[in-house]
Amino acid sequence: MFGLDALSSAAYGPEAALTLLIPLGLAGVEFIVPVSAAIVILLAIVYFSYRQTIEAYPQGGGSYTVASENLGESAALLAAAALMIDYVLTASVGISAGVGALISAAPALQPHTLELCLIVLAVLTLVNMRGVRDTGVVFMIPTYLFTLTLLVVIAVGGWQTVSAAGHPHPLTPLPATPTVTMAVSWWLLLKVFSSGCTAMTGVEAVSNGVMAFREPTRKNAKTTLTIIIALLAILLLGIALLCRAYGITATDPGSSGYESVLSMLTRAVMGHGWFYYLTIASVLLVLALSANTAFADFPRLTRAIAHDGFMPRVFQIRGRRLLYSWGIYVLVALTAILLILFGGVTDRLIPLYAIGAFMAFTLSQAGMVMHWKRQGGMPLRMALNGLGALATGITTLVVLVAKFTEGAWITALLVAVMMVAMRAVKRHYMSVSREIELHRPFVPVEVAEPIVVVPVDGWSRISEKALSFALSLSSDIHCVHVRASDDPDPFIDGWQENIAAPLRAAGRCLPKLVTLKSPFRYILHPIVDYVLNIERETDTRKVCVLIPELVVRHWWEGMLHNRRSDLLKVILLMRGNRRIIVINIPWYLGND
Amino acid sequence: MFGLDALSSAAYGPEAALTLLIPLGLAGVEFIVPVSAAIVILLAIVYFSYRQTIEAYPQGGGSYTVASENLGESAALLAAAALMIDYVLTASVGISAGVGALISAAPALQPHTLELCLIVLAVLTLVNMRGVRDTGVVFMIPTYLFTLTLLVVIAVGGWQTVSAAGHPHPLTPLPATPTVTMAVSWWLLLKVFSSGCTAMTGVEAVSNGVMAFREPTRKNAKTTLTIIIALLAILLLGIALLCRAYGITATDPGSSGYESVLSMLTRAVMGHGWFYYLTIASVLLVLALSANTAFADFPRLTRAIAHDGFMPRVFQIRGRRLLYSWGIYVLVALTAILLILFGGVTDRLIPLYAIGAFMAFTLSQAGMVMHWKRQGGMPLRMALNGLGALATGITTLVVLVAKFTEGAWITALLVAVMMVAMRAVKRHYMSVSREIELHRPFVPVEVAEPIVVVPVDGWSRISEKALSFALSLSSDIHCVHVRASDDPDPFIDGWQENIAAPLRAAGRCLPKLVTLKSPFRYILHPIVDYVLNIERETDTRKVCVLIPELVVRHWWEGMLHNRRSDLLKVILLMRGNRRIIVINIPWYLGND
């Protein structure tokens, strides 16, 4: 399960690199091998770094935790912003690449790429909102299947390559080689490397979740990390070597002739039979499930950030089924926006992706350097994490520069905006808590009973209930009734009989009847003006406004009621000040 | 202004018909003339019918009014549903056809059809939400320009056709004639007629708005109607004849080679110069403005339906600038959905369109027959409106059958669903008003003072304010404090000093301190359980729950607060019953 996200990156990383090599024609495929080798070297460095993170943070060392504990607030916020973007892109790219595999196997679906992406997103959302129980097997089988089928492809392809002295013949015809429109340049290779780096996303999963392993947790986590990194390296190098051997060039993403690199590779090596469809199905599943990891990680991250006061508190509220629902809502909304903006095409999302992940890598490694320093030296460990920080830091810069105009600027801008926003949120919460803090005991003042205003539009059970409650609060009650015309008004005509007489008979104090004229049939404004006027004329007494509110049994009934009372409450709160208190008198439909 | 909607239909009606004739190749263009002639005959019948509506309803006789006054509830609801759909499609088709003109003149914009449609919708929404002042001139100039330029095209084209003995040569080359893939059939011609009927939408505008005319209103309205219908007939026949003469076939809508019929016609007759761009600009403007008429009509209609109790009351609330804002929100949302679903391509929207308009025509004419019958016979007038009802009724059926599988089923289904929903809304309002009606005087019962529950998370100015108010309501106060752990708790430790001592000194009654343990750090559930428990244990006393609420100065601050208190209120309302009353104590940030 921890390898899911990392291994699935092999499905889009090499392809992202190959896509940029299209303009070089068949010659471009040559470059995929050295670029992949460079990525695998980087992967090895990151591997040793993360082994140390596991050692130091057995309770789970995500980039945000490590950065905030070791590098201070700014670095923590940078990590927070980078990680949030990273998770949103994990979801988006997982879905779009999965759908990319699907439309490679069924090209007739290609015009519906975006719709398919949104359907997958909707399914993931539903599954996650209902809560996922016992996901182990669901996650395990596709991950094993994905790794196994790809390893078989690589083994068979490697054998055929060797047998054919380096020039195997594809079993099914590949698309035409693209025409050469560009010469190779260092700049292009930098961009290819930057895109290929997306193959490394997700390797931090093990160190984030050390606490989920069985005892001895650290050892098991490290073994798992070793297996995952080794498998990923084999997949990346294997795919690169076979693409060169079979001469597989990427196809134009988003166009009608699109076919994913893994799809072409599988059918070149294994033919267009059942094994091909099994592989494509496992790719689709694994990518959808890797998108699903964002549904677990994103809400957990936003909860942690909210807990530190940098995001709205709503992200801390656990809803039904113990979920941090708001984190999921925001993730789904952002993912949907990204998918729609970029048409569900993986290649257009790639430039935004690697930068967030590598920023988080860098901060995590840099945080580990500080961690070892504080632990009292440990120069070897410091050096190892320092190397990791340096390598990923340089890569971050390379990706930022190489991809800047193609989309990395969006990520960079977003990170900056989010950091400013998170600081503003924290500042706001701090200022509120300063404003309300109180360092003296209670000062009980003898206050007069409140003035109670009861807007009444007619004599009904609801007005009776409101009036009853008003009588229990105060003896100074104003019944406010709005009239639109001079026609006879049953409420005013019935006032003596329905209200005044029975109260007088019971020896209770009488409410004051206030009639407000409203020539333009506005209902709310006369009431608001009257209440504000009362507040202005009195000095310390509270003004309670009793507004009936219907409590409905079905959500759709809710759309039919209470808008006017909600509006009255909002207007009173906005225009009033601290002495007006709105009290909603609930009326339970069918029950009261 | 009243002609805007009707005349602008000439921009998409003939094209909708011609698009269906594409498979017939050049031979198909021959059929546009008899089909247009049939539509103009129908138009003439409708013309005489609406003259009589003007006569009978000088205060404005929309289909909903006429049907509900003369044909009863079911017909009124049918008209209401048909009209709502009609207005949404007026907005959608106006926008999509306007953008269609734009992309004809600037084919490079074709891939951005949907985005352009949504931009136009956004502009219309903004203009309408800000309120439109003195729109006369804005509407007049484009309408005159549109009519004039098209009349010039028809006149010049007619002259050239006559000069060239019926076979004029286009000034700029037209797209290649489509290949023949189908033979003509009656079924196809029925579909062509049904699509062409969209050219008649909007002719009811004059009879809806008779009251807006100068005295003598009826006479002026009738003259205006005559002019509009005559112009529309000339435009429809002129376009049909010229398309035949120049051999203009429609282009494939939604494809990259799309060009609107009016665009081809204009440049065939007038060349590709300034006059062409002037015509296209006026077409774009007039269509956008015709979409704008829906922004006036739809909210007015929903207000009328809501006034009769068939739609949520929220449609009756006038917001800022005297607008029925909810009507506009709903119109914009539905229009956006339609545009997105159908990719902003007019041709895909057409099958949904005519049916709503013709259903409304039919009901309006049928209502007029009943109107004259009630007026005591008037056989000639009855016959005239009867003929109108018959002709439009048959057309409705033809459109429904011919377009059923292509989209009319959506309209039919929607009409049925909306009618059921509107009845359900009315039933609900009726049942609520029966439930709350009261035919006896007030029964004042001596009630004990309420139990007041004050959830407090710490000693702050807000808790002080809440406690103060609680003391003014009752002497039975429960201060509820939730503890997540057994660590020392400053609120409990300070209880004696901060609250109990000062109250005892002032001789006031003491609140009860209630501490609730919450091992899972839930805050709300323990409070809810406590309140429900109190309610269960007491018999008649009200339970007031005082919840502090922060009143913020900026909308974005609102996102940072009150979610938890809102949630507490909702849960208490849902799970509690009629004796729990939630009182929000407002705290004005920076002001209290």
CA pair distance A399, A190, nearest whole angstrom: 8
pLDDT at A84 over 90: yes
Q: pLDDT by residue (tens digit) across B532-549?
A: 999 888 878 889 999 888
pLDDT at A77 over 90: yes
B497:A441 CB<8 A:
yes
What's the mean per-residue pLDDT of chain A?
86
Q: Is the torsion defined by CA of A221, A223, A227, A233 positive or negative?
A: positive
B314:A563 CB<8 A:
yes
Residue that has been written with the tokens 């009927």 in this structure: B197
Residues of chain A neighbouring B587 (CB-CB closer than 8 A):
436, 578
Supply the pLDDT for residue B76. Answer: 92
Size of interface A-B (CB pairs under 8 A): 167
A473:B469 CB<8 A:
no
Supply the pLDDT for residue A573. Answer: 82
pLDDT at A418 over 90: yes
pLDDT at B170 over 90: no
Q: Are A475 and A448 in contact (CB under 8 A)?
A: no
Supply the pLDDT for residue A134. Answer: 54
Nearest C-alpha in A relative to B495: A441
Of A438, A473, A583, the CB nearest to B460: A438
B502:A443 CB<8 A:
yes
Residues of chain B neighbouring A467 (CB-CB closer than 8 A):
442
Nearest C-alpha in A relative to B425: A560
Of B317, B463, B506, the CB nearest to A563: B317
Q: Report, as an integer, the average pLDDT of A520-531.
A: 83
B460:A436 CB<8 A:
yes
Nearest C-alpha in A relative to B570: A551
Q: What residues form DSSP beta bridges with B588?
A: B551
A314:B559 CB<8 A:
yes
CA pair distance B36, B16, nearest whole angstrom: 12
| Residue of B432, B445, B461 best to disrupt the A interface, most CBs of A under 10 A | B432
Q: pLDDT by residue (tens digit) across A10-36?
A: 888 889 888 888 888 888 888 889 999
pLDDT band at A135 (very low <50, low <70, confident <90, very high): low
Helix (H) or strand (E) holding B581: strand B580-588
**Min Cα separation A434/chain B (Å):** 10
**Min Cα separation B109/chain A (Å):** 17
| Residue of A303, A305, A320, A472 best to disrupt the B interface, most CBs of B under 10 A | A472
- Using omega within 30 degrees of 0 as the cis cutoff, is the peptide bond preceding B216 cis? yes
pLDDT band at A198 (very low <50, low <70, confident <90, very high): confident
A589:B442 CB<8 A:
no
| Residue of A442, A499, A522 best to disrupt the B interface, most CBs of B under 10 A | A442
Q: Report, as an integer, the average pLDDT of B161-177.
A: 84
A559:B312 CB<8 A:
yes
pLDDT at A489 over 90: no
Supply the pLDDT for residue A385. Answer: 86
pLDDT at A136 over 80: no
Nearest C-alpha in A relative to B551: A573
CA pair distance B70, B369, nearest whole angstrom: 9
B314:A590 CB<8 A:
no
pLDDT at B357 over 60: yes
Between residues B519 and B38, the one the model is more confident about: B38
User: pTM for the whole thing?
Assistant: 0.73
pLDDT at B49 over 90: no
CA pair distance A194, A188, nearest whole angstrom: 10
Percent of chain B with pLDDT over 90: 25
Supply the pLDDT for residue A158. Answer: 92
Residue A544: what are its φ and ψ, rounded to 5°?
-95, 125
| Residue of B472, B523, B589 best to disrupt the A interface, most CBs of A under 10 A | B472
**Min Cα separation B467/chain A (Å):** 9
pLDDT at B438 over 90: no
DSSP string, B376-426: T--HHHHHHHHHHHHHHHHHHHHHHHHTIIIIIHHHHHHHHHHHHHHHHHH
pLDDT at A131 over 70: no
Q: Is the torsion defined by CA of B535, B540, B546, B551 positive or negative?
A: positive
Supply the pLDDT for residue A586. Answer: 85
Supply the pLDDT for residue B91. Answer: 94
B586:A563 CB<8 A:
no
Q: pLDDT by residue (tens digit) across B289-342?
A: 889 888 888 988 999 899 999 999 888 887 766 678 889 999 999 999 999 888
Supply the pLDDT for residue B540. Answer: 80
Helix axes A13-20, A186-196, angle to 10 degrees: 160
A542:B469 CB<8 A:
yes
Between residues A166 and B459, the one the model is more confident about: B459
**Min Cα separation B88/chain A (Å):** 21
**Min Cα separation B359/chain A (Å):** 28
Residues of chain A neighbouring B592 (CB-CB closer than 8 A):
577-578
pLDDT at A321 over 80: no
CA pair distance A373, B293, nearest whole angstrom: 71
Q: Among A96-110, A555-569, B11-25, B429-443, which stretch is predicted with the lowest mean pLDDT?
A: A555-569
Q: Report, as an integer, the average pLDDT of A174-182.
A: 81
What's the mean per-residue pLDDT of chain B?
86
Of A471, A550, A576, the CB nearest to B444: A471
Of A469, A502, A557, the CB nearest to B428: A557
**Min Cα separation A532/chain B (Å):** 15
Supply the pLDDT for residue B320. Answer: 64
Of A318, A447, A465, the CB nearest to B468: A447
B460:A437 CB<8 A:
yes
Helix axes B73-105, B113-129, angle to 10 degrees: 120
**Min Cα separation B433/chain A (Å):** 9
CA pair distance A511, A534, nearest whole angstrom: 15
A436:B587 CB<8 A:
yes
A560:B467 CB<8 A:
no
Q: In the 3-class helix/strand/coil scheme, how is B95-152 assigned residue by residue? A: HHHHHHHHHHHCHHHHHHHHHHHHHHHHHHHHHHHCCCCCCHHHHHHHHHHHHHHHHH
Residues of chain A neighbouring B573 (CB-CB closer than 8 A):
551, 586
- Would you put residue B269 in left (φ > 0), alpha (ψ -120 to 50) or beta? alpha
Q: Where are the alpha helices (DSSP H) in A538-590?
A: 555-558, 563-575
Q: pLDDT by residue (tens digit) across B101-160?
A: 898 888 888 888 888 999 999 998 888 887 665 556 777 888 889 999 999 999 999 999
- Using omega within 30 degrees of 0 as the cis cutoff, is the peptide bond preceding A216 cis? yes
Encoding tokens for residue B64? 């909903």
pLDDT at A590 over 80: no
B441:A584 CB<8 A:
no
Q: Which of A123-137, A223-237, A529-543 has the highest mean pLDDT?
A: A223-237
Residues of chain B neighbouring A469 (CB-CB closer than 8 A):
542, 581
Q: Report, as an integer, the average pLDDT of A59-68.
A: 83
Q: Among A61-65, A192-196, B45-49, which stretch is predicted with the lowest mean pLDDT?
A: A61-65
pLDDT at A571 over 60: yes
DSSP reduced 3-state for B439 = coil
| Residue of A435, A541, A589 best to disrupt the B interface, most CBs of B under 10 A | A435
pLDDT at A554 over 80: no
pLDDT band at A538 (very low <50, low <70, confident <90, very high): confident
Nearest C-alpha in A relative to B490: A439
